[in-house]
Amino acid sequence: MAVMRFFIGSVLFSLITLTSLKAQSTLFESYDCRPEVEIIKQIETEKRMRELAYRDSVRLAQEHLAKLKAEAYLLWLEDSVNGWKNWSVVENFSFGRDRGNLPMIADVHALHPVFRDKVMQLIALCRQKGIELTVVETYRTHSKQAEYKGMGKAYTRKGAGRSKHQYGLAVDVVPLVNGEPEWENKALWRKIGIIGEQLGMRWGGRWRYLYDPGHFEWTGGIRPTELVQGKLHHPKLIEQYPCIEADLRILQRYWNNWESEQSSWAKKEE
Ligand SMILES: [Zn+2]
């Protein structure tokens, strides 16, 4: 009896495994570069499938799989369309400085994925050394850049389309000391700057004109003229970031949404 049960169990298990593998490959082949939420769902699904294969019937297991996949797909769809609305923003004077009327996008997810990872490493490495960094601005719309330009030379030397912020390739940070932004501590900036440089970023604390120690940028060898043409990655990046093209497509859609959002705010203010 026990042998029989074992036999039925293993036949059922292989059947389930085979059908689920087949189903997954057909459902997911339209986009290989799935966001994390789906991968997690898939792992959950596989685990649940195995449990159900023993306890219940094949049909139940398949229904459950179909439901989880539909949920994962809807979540992904929702996020890849509306994710930009959840980006964190910073209002003017939040860190004690006048940064203009338009809010600043301060979310690291608004950055180019490769640069975003460097910024997250910078924050983590600084934290290890007891330095708490906060993000002041990441991606910058044309309207925001134009606002800075209008505020004078102390804010930017660059007109619309010229700042790396406008390609998600620059970030402004500030260290917090006892919860307060510390803009003037040169020794502290130097520590932060060196960590950033070790991660391969350019540090604004080296600039003679417009010393900008909170600013870090990285282009991965993409030239300014290429940026203006919309080029955001080198083919060799795909080895390390296999989903870079899919990610950048979604990111560029998010950026475009922010561009129209802020240009409509800017018009209202005029
Ligand atoms: Zn900057």
Question: Collapsing DSSP states into helix, strand and coil, what is residue 111?
Answer: coil
Task: Determine the longest span between alpha carbons in the chain, in angstroms.
Answer: 86
pLDDT in tens, 182-195: 999 999 999 999 99
Q: Is the same domain home to 248 and 180?
A: yes
What's the 165 CA to ligand 1 centre distance in angstroms? 6
Task: Give the residue among 139, 168, 109 at the shortest CA–CA distance from 261.
Answer: 139
Q: Are residues 20 and 141 in the same domain?
A: no
CATH number of the CATH domain containing 194:
3.30.1380.10
Q: CA-CA distances (angstroms) from residue 252 to 85, 170, 256?
A: 14, 15, 6
Q: Give the span between the Cα atoms of 253 and 19, in whole angstroms.
A: 36
Number of domains within the chain: 2
Query: Are 208 and 109 contained in the same domain?
Result: yes
Nearest to 107 by CA among 243, 261, 258: 258
Instruction: Report how far ligand 1's centroid is from the alpha carbon of 214 (Å).
Output: 7
In 165-243, which ranges are continuous DSSP H helix?
186-198, 224-228, 237-240
Calculate how far, in angstroms, residue 233's C-alpha sits from the geometric centre of ligand 1. Answer: 21
Same domain as 95, residue 76? no
User: Does residue 113 carry a pLDDT above 90?
Assistant: yes
Interval 251-264: pLDDT, tens: 999 999 999 999 99
**Are 107 and 150 in the same domain?**
yes
- Shared-domain flag, residues 209 and 143: yes
Euclidean distance between CA atoms 243 and 108, whole angstroms: 18
CA distance linking residue 14 with residue 20, whole number of Å: 10
- Give the Å distance between the CA of 115 and the centre of ligand 1: 14
Chain mean pLDDT for the chain: 83
Same domain, 176 and 238: yes
- How many Å lie between the centroid of ligand 1 and the Cα of residue 205? 11
The Cα–Cα gap between 204 and 94 comes to 21
Domain final residue pick, 65, 83, 101:
83
Which of the listed residues 58, 83, 108 is the one where a domain comes to its end?
A: 83
**Band (18; pLDDT cuts 50, 70, 90):** very low
Which of 15-19, 24-28, 54-58, 130-134 bottoms out in mean pLDDT, i.e. has the lowest? Answer: 24-28
Task: Give yes or no for residue 4 having a pLDDT over 70.
Answer: no
Ligand 1 centroid – CA 103 distance (Å): 15
Are 138 and 63 members of one domain?
Answer: no
Distance from Cα 242 to the centre of ligand 1, integer Å: 28
Distance 172 CA to ligand 1 centre (A): 5
In terms of residue numbers, what domain contains 189? Answer: 89-269
Cα(144) to centroid(ligand 1), Å: 12
What protein residues have CB closer than 5 angstroms to ion ligand 1? 170, 172, 215
- Domain end, chosen from 29, 54, 83, is at 83
Same structural domain for residues 180 and 216? Answer: yes
What spacing in Å lies between the alpha carbon of 164 and ligand 1's midpoint?
A: 8
Are residues 224 and 121 both part of a single domain?
yes
Whole-number Å distance between alpha carbons of 34 and 76: 8
pTM across the whole model: 0.75
Length of the chain equals: 270
CA distances (Å), origin 219, targets 80, 166, 223, 232: 24, 12, 8, 8
Nearest to 186 by CA among 200, 205, 204, 172: 205
48 pLDDT band, cuts 50/70/90, is confident
Same domain, 125 and 159: yes
Are 181 and 65 members of one domain?
no
